[in-house]
Amino acid sequence: GEDVEQSLFLSVREGDSSVINCTYTDSSSTYLYWYKQEPGAGLQLLTYIFSNMDMKQDQRLTVLLNKKDKHLSLRIADTQTGDSAIYFCAEAPYNQGGKLIFGQGTELSVKP
Amino acid sequence: GAVVSQHPSWVICKSGTSVKIECRSLDFQATTMFWYRQFPKQSLMLMATSNEGSKATYEQGVEKDKFLINHASLTLSTLTVTSAHPEDSSFYICSASDTEFPYEQYFGPGTRLTVT
Give per-residue pLDDT as tens, A11-60.
999 999 999 999 998 878 788 999 999 988 888 889 999 988 999 999 99
Check CB contact of A24 with chain B, cutoff 8 Å.
no
User: Which CA distances in Å does A80 have to A47, A56, A86, B46, B71?
Assistant: 18, 21, 14, 31, 40
Mutate to test the interface with B, among A2, A100, A104 (most CBs of B within 10 A): A100
* Cα distance between residue A83 and residue B84, in whole Å: 36
Please tell me the predicted confidence (pLDDT) of residue A2: 65
Query: A29, A96 in Cβ contact below 8 A?
Result: no
Check CB contact of A31 with chain B, cutoff 8 Å.
yes
User: B41 pLDDT exceeds 80?
Assistant: no
Mutate to test the interface with A, among B34, B58, B99, B103 (most CBs of A within 10 A): B103
Q: Do A97 and B6 touch (CB under 8 A)?
A: no
Please tell me the predicted confidence (pLDDT) of residue B100: 56
More confident residue, A66 or A3: A66
Q: Residue A3 is inside which H or E element, if any?
A: none
Among candidates B43, B44, B99 on the partner chain, residue whose Cβ is nearest the Cβ of A98:
B99
More confident residue, B2 or B21: B21
Query: B30, B97 in Cβ contact below 8 A?
Result: yes
Please tell me the predicted confidence (pLDDT) of residue A1: 57
Range ranked top by mean pLDDT from A10-19, B29-38, B46-55, B95-104: A10-19
Span of A95-104, B31-40, B55-64, B84-93 with lowest mean pLDDT:
A95-104
More confident residue, B54 or A12: A12
Average pLDDT over residues B35-59: 88
Q: Do A88 and B43 touch (CB under 8 A)?
A: yes
User: B94 pLDDT exceeds 90?
Assistant: yes
Name the minimum distance, in Å, from the CA of A96 to any CA of chain B.
10
User: B71 pLDDT exceeds 80?
Assistant: yes
Of chain A, the percentage scoring pLDDT greater than 70 comes to: 98
Please tell me the predicted confidence (pLDDT) of residue B99: 64
Who's near B60: CB < 8 A, 6+ residues apart? Answer: none
Name the minimum distance, in Å, from the CA of A104 to any CA of chain B.
4
More confident residue, A40 or A103: A103
Who's near B100: CB < 8 A, 6+ residues apart? Answer: none
Please tell me the predicted confidence (pLDDT) of residue B51: 85
